[in-house]
Amino acid sequence: MLDISEVSRQSGVAASKLRYYEEIGLICSIGRSGLRRVFAPDVLSRLSLIALGQAAGFSLAEIGDMLGPEGKPDIDRERLGAKADALDRRIKQLSAIRDGLRHATTCTAPRHLDCPTFQRLMRIALARQSARGPGRQGAKAAKAAKEARTQQGRTRLRRDG
C-alpha cells in the first residue's frame, strides 16, 4: 500500500492532481491511513497510462473510457489508430510551419511580404484557420461581443424608451 505522498513522489503527479483523478474516477484509493488516502501499488501503472494518453492528446474523459471503471484497461485500437492519424496530420502541419520559418530566416527578398514563398505560407495558414472556424476563444469572444451589443440595446431602449 502507498499513501498519497508516496504515490506523488514516485509518479511525479501532484497530490492535488491525484485527488482530482480520484474525484473523476480515473484512479481509486483503497482506504485511508489517518487522513491520508492509500492506494494499491498498481495505481502507478494506471498513472503511467493516464500520462501516456495525455501525451498522445486524449482528453481525461477519453482516457477514463479506455481505462474502465474496474481498473482493467480496455483500450480501443481503432481510437488509437485515429489518434495516430491525427498526430501524423499535425506533424505534417508543424513541419510545414517549421520549414516556412526556416525559409523566412534565410529569404533574400527585401521584405518578407515580398517573398512568394512567405505569401504562400500566409495563405495556407489563413485557409487552415478559416477551416477550423472561430475556435473556442473566437466563439467566446463572439458570444461576449453579442452579449455586449444586446446589453447596449437594452440600455438604449431604457434611455430612449
Q: At what angle do helices 43-55 and 60-67 cross, to 10 degrees?
A: 130
**pLDDT reported for residue 35:** 79
**pLDDT reported for residue 155:** 45
Rg (CA), the chain: 25
* Tens of pLDDT, residues 3-62: 999 999 999 999 999 999 999 999 988 888 887 889 999 999 999 999 999 999 999 999
* 0.85 surpassed by pTM: no
Query: Which of 31-40, 46-55, 123-132, 152-161 is most confident?
Result: 46-55
**pLDDT reported for residue 134:** 67
Average pLDDT for residues 117-140, to the nearest whole number?
A: 75
Which pairs count as long-range contacts for 57-61, CB under 8 Å and 24+ apart, including other chains? Answer: 57/83, 57/86, 57/87, 58/83, 60/24, 60/26
Average pLDDT for residues 115-133, to the nearest whole number?
A: 83
* Tens of pLDDT, residues 89-111: 999 988 988 888 898 889 898 88
